[in-house]
Amino acid sequence: MKEIKERHLFEEKYRICGMLGRGRFATVYKCMHKETKQYFAAKIVQKHQSRVDTEISILNSFRHNKNVISLFEVYQDSRESVLILELVSGGELLYVLGKNIVTEYDMTHVIKHLCSTLYCLHYKHIVHMDIKPENILICNTLHKPALRLVDFGFARMLQNNRPGNLEPLRGTPEFLAPEMLRCDNLDVVTTAVDMWCVGVTTYITLTGISPFQGDTDCETVARILHCDYYLGDDLFGGYSRDAVDFISKLLVPSPRARMTAAECLNHPWLSKKKRSKQRQYTLSSHVISSVRAALSERVISDTMSMLKLNLRELSCSGDSNIKPSTIDRNYKSSYK
C-alpha cells in the first residue's frame, strides 16, 4: 500500500454490494472493483484519524503475515477514511461456531492460529488491545480454519518491549485485563493484555458464556478484579483437562504469571495432535447469538473510561456488593 488516494475516487473504482459488519468505529461493506470484478471489504471510518493511522501503519508492517488482514488501498478526505481490505467471507468466529458442528479439537486449531498470530505481533512489540470473537474472522470452514485478525485501531507499539502507559480504557468491558482496571500503576500495557483476552475468547467459544460478564459494568469489573470465574465440571466436564488448564493459565491476575503466546503454543491443549478422547459438541445458535448481541452492545462507553480513576469509589452501596478495600485486599493477595 503506497499512497493515500482522494476519498471521492473510491466510488469511481468500486461498487458497494452490501454490509458485512459494524463495529464501534467503522462500518464494513462488501465491494467490487469495477474493472477486475474482484471483491473486497471496504472499511469506512468517520474521523478517528489516529485510530485509522495506527491501523494503516500496523497492517502495512504485517502485510506478509497471512493471519493478519491484508490492506490494499486507502481513500481519505478530512471527514472519512476508506480502507480496502481483503474480503473474509466466512464471518466472525461466533457466527461460524453457531452455524457448524464444532469439536474441541477444531477449536484448538482456531486458538492455535490466534496464538501464532499474536506471537508474531508480540515479537514486534505490538499489542492488539482488542482481541475478541468479533475481531477474529474465519475464511472458510472451521474444519480447515484460516483465520484473519482484524481491527488494529486500538493497537499499541511498545517501546523496546517496555510496558506502555494506560490511556483512557480501551476495549470491551468483559475483555479488559485486571491490570488495566487498576488505577495505582499506569505502566500496565504489555503483551499479556492480549493473552488475557485469548483466555476470555477461549472460554466464550467453549461454553457460550462470557466468564466475567455481570449484570452491570460495575459487577463485571469487580469480577475481573477478583478473577472470579467458573471452571466447574457442569460447564467444562465434557472438555479435556488440558482445555481447562489452558484457560486457567491465561485468566490469572498477574500479567507476569500469565502464559505468553509462545507458552500457549507449547501448552498440551494446542500442541497435542490426538483428537480421540476430545468431545464433540454443538453450540446452539441461540446461545451464540445472545452472547454475540450482549458483546456488541456492551462496548466500552466514555463513562467506563473514567472507571480507572473512580475504581476506589466503586462502593458497596452501588450495583456491586464489593467494597474498595476488599478489591484491594483480594487483588493484592492474588497478584503475585
What single-letter DSSP state applies at residue 97? H
CB-based burial label for 242 (10 Å; 0-12, 13-18, 19+): middle
92 is a site residue for ligand ADP (CB under 6 A): yes
25 binds, among Mg ion, ligand ADP, none (CB under 5 to 8 A by kind): ligand ADP
Of 1, 13, 23, 227, the one binding ligand ADP (CB under 6 A) is 23
Point out which span in 100-108, 133-141, 246-254, 307-315 binds ligand ADP (CB under 6 A). Answer: 133-141
Q: Choose which of 56, 82, 87, 300 interacts with ligand ADP (CB under 6 A).
A: 87
Q: Which of 77, 106, 130, 328 is catalytic?
A: 130
Residues β-bridged to residue 14? 33
User: Binding mask 3-22 vs ligand ADP (x if CB under 6 A, - otherwise)?
Assistant: -----------------xxx
**What whole-number distance in Å separates Cα of residue 84 and Cα of residue 227?**
40
135 forms part of the interface with ligand ADP (CB under 6 A): yes
Residues in touch with Mg ion (CB under 5 A): 23, 135, 151
Nearest approach, Cβ of residue 208 and Mg ion (Å): 20
- One-letter amino acid at 49 equals Q
Torsion of CA 202, 144, 30, 50, to 10 degrees: 40
By CB under 6 A, name the one of 52, 56, 58, 69 that touches ligand ADP.
Answer: 69
Mode of pairing for the β-strands spanning 187-189 and 280-281: unpaired
Question: Does 26 help bind ligand ADP (rule: CB under 6 A)?
Answer: yes
C-beta of 90 vs 178, nearer to ligand ADP: 90
Q: Provide the minimum distance between the beta carbon of 23 and Mg ion in the complex, in angstroms, as a whole number.
A: 3
Place of cell 468466529: 93
DSSP code, position 24: S
What's the length of the chain? Answer: 336
Of 10, 14, 28, 112, which one interacts with ligand ADP (CB under 6 A)?
A: 28
Q: How far is the CB of 93 from ligand ADP (least distance, A)?
A: 10
Cα-trace Rg, the chain = 20
Q: What is the DSSP string of 165-177?
A: EP-S--S-GGG--
Helix (H) / strand (E) containing 137:
strand 136-138
Q: Is 292 in the site for ligand ADP (CB under 6 A)?
A: no
The secondary structure element, H or E, covering residue 6 is strand 4-6
Residues lying near ligand ADP in the complex (CB under 6 A) are found at: 20-26, 28, 41, 43, 69, 85-88, 92, 134-135, 137, 150-151, 153
Q: Could you give the residue numbers annotated as active site? A: 130
